[in-house]
Amino acid sequence: MSNATKTNLKLEILISTINRNSLDFLVKLFPGGSFQSYNLLIINQTTKDCLLESKFANIRVINSFQKGLSNSRNLALQNTIGQFCLIADDDTLYDSNFEETILNSFKNNTEADIITFKMKDFNGNDFKIYSKHSNWHDIKSVQFVNSVVIAFRLDKIIKKNITFNSNFGIGATFETADEYIFLRDCLKVGLKLWFESKYILSHDINSSGKDSGSDSLVFARSALFYKYHGIKGYFKLVHYLILVKKEGLITNKEFLRKFKIGLRGITTYKALSMEGK
């Protein structure tokens, strides 16, 4: 890990990546390749023969031999020194004024502990349907938030001991919903979440989580349904499969097989819960 101080550090970008041995990938993330202009904490999940190093004081690196995106996020939370933090991946393109947008949003919304933003795809279209107006988040609205547009006040996250659920997210048992659970946990402990109707980045439209009918997402979402709805989760599973079938993402012939996959997801979640995980 390179050295860095807390002097005048306001926003730190928490980047999760895997198997990197060069900082060259940062060039594509920032406008004009200006990655040296920002405070970055990079969590590189890798092996001992593929280590990443930084010679820049404002770019800190932790090489981790754990797996799973939530574990990467949690390691970043344990080591960040930013007053404000932005969750990040290694496949985005930031707008030229993204840092100013984030810091001004916190300045103008002093009651907000967490602020989420908008993003576009690489063709300039909205990544999803967003509200036209800024507003406070609730349990319903946070389900539509992508992790890479989440910024937060570090002291509030630490005070409430909020972390990512390591059973959810890419590389975990259930490969989705890590950001949703994180935000719901924030709401549960009374943190205030604000949606700022401004763009900060672009992202490939073909991101993880888009194929709602895949086996892995049916498995994971079923576990999520049971986590928050108990026995009603079984009915949520059926309703979910009906919706994805209507969207043409699964066929009539696949319905029963997908349902069984969902049941396995619920059973797996129940077993983990009994083990205290």
Query: 4: which residues sit within 8 A by CB, 6+ positions away?
Result: 39, 57, 58, 60, 81
Q: What six digits make up the tokens of 130? A: 């967003």
Which of 216, 218, 214 shows the shortest CA–CA distance to 233? 218
Query: 268: which residues sit within 8 A by CB, 6+ positions away?
Result: 173, 174, 219, 223
Distance, CA of 116 to CA of 104 (rounded, Å): 13
Specify the pLDDT at position 25.
96
Question: Could you say which of 175, 203, 231 is where a domain stops?
Answer: 203
Give mean pLDDT in consecutive 10-residue pieces for the chain, a chain of 277 residues.
53 98 96 92 97 96 97 98 96 96 97 98 94 96 97 97 97 96 98 98 77 94 98 98 95 97 98 89
- Concatenating the DSSP letter of every residue in 72-125 gives HHHHHHHH---SEEEEE-SSEEE-TTHHHHHHHHHHH-TT-SEEEEEEE-TTSS
- Based on the domain organization, do 134 and 241 belong to the same domain? no
- Based on the domain organization, do 221 and 199 belong to the same domain? no
Specify the pLDDT at position 114.
98
Helix (H, G, I), strand (E, B) or coil at 135: strand
Specify the pLDDT at position 208.
53
> Residue 200: enclosing H or E segment and its boundaries?
strand 193-203
- Based on the domain organization, do 187 and 219 belong to the same domain? no
Specify the pLDDT at position 210.
61
- Based on the domain organization, do 124 and 148 belong to the same domain? yes
CA torsion angle 30 31 35 38 (round to 10): -90
Question: Could you say which of 180, 203, 226 is where a domain stops?
Answer: 203
Task: List beta partners, residue 140.
Answer: none
For 226, the domain range is: 215-274
170, part of any domain = yes
Q: What six digits make up the tokens of 272? A: 């983990």
Whether the CB-CB separation of 149 and 162 falls below 8 Å is answered with: no
